[in-house]
Structure formats: C-alpha cells, structure tokens
C-alpha cells in the first residue's frame, strides 16, 4: 500500500505544500505567495497570521491535487525559513508584532556594539554563529523592547517565541505544542550546539527570558497531532528542520564531506562534517545538520542573503524582465564574459563578508550596457557569491569535489554551467529539485516508519544532470577578480 507524506515548505516569499509518496515522488502540490513589508531601510517583516493562513490553504490544496485524504498521510514534515522571529500571546495565539525576517538588519548597530565589547568569541564558541542581525536573538530582544509591556509579559510566561516552524506547529496543534527542532534552535544564537540546550549565559547577554522559548526536540520526533478541523483528520507532525538542513537531508548528504547548495531567495551552501563541530577560520558558520535519536550531526555553512531575490528585484523592482525564465535568453546573448557586475547587497552581505551595512550596486556600466548585461550580471552574481563560500571552505582545509544543487534557480542550465565553470567543480542536479520539502518528508518518514534508515533514503537520490567545468582557467580567474573588486567597492571596511 502506498504511504504518503505531506511536506510543508514555508519560505521567505511563499508557502508551499507537497505530497510525496514513499519513493520521494511528488503526487500533489500547491504554492501561495504572501506580502513582504519593508517599513524602513534594511527592515523586512512578514504578517505571521498570513503565513499561517497561506500554509493551511496550500496544505488543503496539495491534498486535493494529490487526490488523497489527510487520513492517508503517514505524517507531516515542516521545513521553514530560518531565524525569522515570531512572538505571540499564549492565551490568544495572536502575534504581538510582525514576524521579523532573517534578512532584517535593524539590530546592526547593537550587534556592532556587542562585537566591540568583546562578546563575539563567546557566541561563536557556544553557538557556532557570529554576532549578526541575521540570527534570532537580537530580533527577539528588539520586539520585547519595542512593544509596550512585552518584556514583563515574556518574563511572566505569557508570551511564546518561535521560529516559523514553532509558529506553524502551535497553530496546527491548536496551541498544544510549543516545540522546535535542534536545527532551528541552532540558528537563534541562544542554543549551545555542544551541550544541546538553551544557554543561560547567552540568554542573559541578549536579554531573552527562558520562559519564552520552545522545548527543543530531535529533527525526527513526535511534535504533536494536528487538529482534525484543519485537514479533515488528525495527522502527526513527525519531522522538522530548517530549510537548509532539510535540503541537505533531501540531497542525502549524510556522509562527512558531502555538500549541497540551495538557490532560493538566498543561497546556502552546507558541508556535512559528521560528529565534529568544525570551527571555521574564514567566517563561515558551524551549525547542526540534523539531530536524530539524540545524536547531533554538524555542518559548516555559508549563507548568501540574496540569490533568487536578485532576479525578483530585476523583475518587480526594475521591471527589466516579466518572468524569471526570460533571463536565460539574455544570458545566452551576452555570454559568460560579461563586464557588468551586480552586487545584490540589498540587506547587507552574508558569508564570508558579514557586512550588514553594505548596499547593492551595479558596476562596470558603459554606454553599451543594456538590459541583457544587467540581467546576466544578476544570474552571475549568484555563482560569484557561491565561489566566495567555496573559497572560504577550501581555505578552512576542506576539499570540494562536487556540489549537489537544488532550489528554483537550479533548473536553469545556463546558471548551473556557469556555476560549475566559476567553481571548477562538478555540479550535480538531482531528479527531484524540491529537496527542501523532500528532506522534511524524509524526516517525517523516518519517525513514522516509512523509512528504516538514512541508508534507505540515500538509495532514493538520483542525479538528473551533471555539469562539468569547461572554462579556461585564465577567464575564470579574470572574471572572479572583477567580482572581488566589485565587492570591495560596496563593503564598509
């Protein structure tokens, strides 16, 4: 009998739900975009209620498209935009402020002060993260300090914090479950990744009351059953992981040294380091890849804030294209030797630069520059930023032989070939590119007995296309030198 799993993939710009069968094949899906709020320079917010409502709508629609009832599901897996911060009233379930999105930079000055006061090494040692507005800790404190009475109510236990997974779980279970998993906890800058618990010293440093926090479970666990009214029958939420960790699982990168790169709103490259929490000397992050049966698996990660969002900006902001797929025709016309560079530092720069005050720029413009060159530069910027991450990983002593890719931009052959060329590594695109959702489904399947082991999941991974580097070394070097020059011009060093 076919067994089905429902994956909730709650992202930065849209909510998706996909029904998979036990072979990892998609049998039904739905997606819905939601609003983005930009109340001030560098601020990014979401309406958490809209996130929940869109998630519920796509879950129902995905089941309809699959032609199955909720009672036929073995379990639900949740994967989510990480670091995005929601605080809500435990009694009413209502958020007390908009969700502050991972891209948000409003706490940059406080982060700078914490670093200048000498606190970063403490944070790095305990969490594997740097002090940056990216992570949840300073977002939580900002809400508590800017919403009337919030801090006192938090200390009294009246409020709850969660990353988006916790917020959805709370709503799905009717307020019975206030949990998160270890991967999402590891992105808050409050969780000690070595002791696997919230860290009292960090809670004190950032001013976050412990009463606010969810309980941390394994990535595959019994998180609670959904209310029957939502989907038509109660279903166990059995897997949770942050989106990048879920993609690592969906790509079956279970052995140390295996790496994947996901191209969505941002770009995130993650390298499995096994049971060793490797500290980067090149400003990459040490994070949890997953935690199963109480045993943590670690990874090194590089985070790029803007990848697909650059193309969204070219489409919606500058209106240079009507659809993202138009970009390929422009790129094929211009070719790889493009003198124009687009640095999409719209909300600062992530790894390995970590400059929250950098802002975007288009460089190398001449009288001959047109739409085609700028659009091509947008595509190339994703690959150049990935090269920054790979170079940092290599400087840390790791060897990258190949890279498994996924996400929306991974279906673009031109971009993937340029990526292989600029990195000088083989790029493997899997048969299923929706690996973030697939990873969440796999976790739920592990917990509910659909899968017996990670080895069984590994056997389901299949390569759809390999991209091999063919670019001349001299051209690769000159193009990347031009990119590094562009980066220097936007950084506030």
Mean pLDDT of the chain: 93
Peptide bond between residue 324 and the one before it cis (omega within 30 degrees of 0): no
E-strand ranges in 22-113 read 26-33, 45-46, 73-80, 86-89, 99-100
Phi first, then psi: what are they for 83, rounded to 5°?
Answer: 70, -25
From CA 129, how far away is CA 210, in angstroms rounded? 20
Residue keyed to tokens 């996901």: 262
Say whether pLDDT at 283 is over 90: no
Tell me the C-alpha to C-alpha distance, in Å, between residue 124 and each of 197, 285, 335: 15, 9, 41
Identify the pLDDT of residue 373: 95
Q: What is the pLDDT of residues 291-315, one digit of tens each?
A: 999 999 999 998 888 888 898 899 9
- pLDDT tens per residue, range 473-482: 999 999 999 9
Strands 402-406, 426-430: pairing is parallel
Average pLDDT over residues 415-429: 96
Segment 343-362, tens digit of pLDDT: 999 888 888 888 878 899 99
Alpha-carbon gap, residue 363 to 380, rounded angstroms: 13
**Token pair listed for 315:** 């489409």
CA distance linking residue 107 with residue 133, whole number of Å? 5
Query: pTM for the full model?
Result: 0.87
Nearest by Cα to 400 from 420, 421, 419, 425: 425
At 102-135, the pLDDT tens digits run 989 999 999 999 999 999 999 999 999 999 998 9
> Do residues 389 and 266 make contact, with C-beta atoms less than 8 angstroms apart?
no
How much is the pLDDT for 73? Answer: 96
More confident position, 229 or 279: 229
* Domains in the chain: ranges and CATH: 4-244 (3.30.420.40), 251-430+462-493 (3.30.420.40)
Side-chain-side CA neighbours of 23 within 13 Å: the count stands at 7
């Amino acid at each position: 009998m076919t067994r089905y799993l429902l994956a909730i993939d709650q992202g930065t710009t849209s909510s998706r739900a996909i029904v998979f069968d036990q072979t990892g094949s998609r049998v039904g899906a739905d997606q819905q975009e939601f609003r983005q709020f930009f109340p001030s320079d560098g601020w990014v917010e979401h309406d958490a209620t809209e996130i929940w409502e869109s998630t519920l709508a796509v879950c129902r629609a995905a089941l309809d498209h699959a032609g199955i009832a909720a009672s036929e599901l073995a379990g639900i897996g949740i994967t989510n935009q990480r670091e995005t911060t929601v605080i809500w009233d435990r009694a009413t379930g209502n958020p007390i402020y908009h969700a502050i999105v991972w891209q948000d930079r409003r706490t940059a000055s406080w982060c700078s002060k914490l670093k200048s006061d000498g606190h970063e090494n403490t944070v790095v040692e305990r969490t594997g993260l740097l002090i940056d507005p990216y992570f949840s800790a300073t977002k939580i404190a900002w809400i508590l300090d800017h919403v009337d009475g919030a801090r006192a109510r938090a200390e009294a236990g009246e409020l709850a914090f969660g990353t988006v997974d916790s917020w959805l779980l709370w709503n799905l279970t009717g307020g019975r479950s206030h949990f998160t998993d270890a991967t999402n906890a590891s992105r808050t800058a409050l969780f000690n990744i070595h002791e696997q618990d919230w860290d009292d010293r960090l809670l004190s440093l950032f001013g976050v009351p412990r009463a606010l926090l969810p309980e941390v479970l394994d990535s595959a666990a019994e998180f609670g059953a959904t209310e029957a009214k939502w989907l038509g029958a109660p279903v166990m939420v059995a897997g949770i992981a942050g989106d990048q960790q879920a993609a690592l699982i969906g790509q079956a990168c279970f052995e140390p040294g295996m790496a994947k790169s996901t191209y969505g709103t941002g770009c995130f490259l993650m390298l499995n380091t096994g049971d060793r929490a490797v500290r980067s000397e090149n400003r990459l992050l040490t994070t949890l890849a997953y935690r199963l049966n109480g045993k943590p698996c670690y990874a090194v990660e590089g985070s790029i804030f803007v990848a697909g969002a650059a193309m969204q900006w070219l489409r919606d902001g500058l209106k240079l294209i009507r659809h993202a797929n138009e970009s390929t025709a422009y790129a094929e016309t211009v070719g790889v030797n493009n003198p124009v560079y687009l640095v999409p530092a719209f909300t600062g720069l992530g790894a390995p630069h970590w400059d929250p005050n950098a802002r975007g720029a288009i460089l190398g413009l001449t009288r001959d520059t047109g739409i085609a060159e700028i659009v091509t530069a947008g595509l190339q910027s994703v690959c150049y930023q990935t090269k920054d991450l790979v170079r940092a990983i290599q400087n840390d002593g790791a060897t990258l032989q190949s890279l498994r890719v996924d996400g929306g931009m991974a279906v673009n052959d031109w971009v993937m070939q340029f990526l292989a060329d600029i990195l000088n590594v083989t790029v493997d695109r899997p048969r299923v590119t929706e690996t973030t959702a697939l990873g969440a489904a796999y976790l739920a399947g592990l917990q509910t007995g659909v899968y017996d082991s990670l080895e069984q999941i590994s056997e389901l991974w299949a390569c759809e296309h390999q991209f091999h580097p063919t670019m001349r070394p001299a051209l690769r070097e000159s193009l990347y030198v031009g990119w590094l020059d562009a980066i220097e011009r936007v950084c506030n060093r």
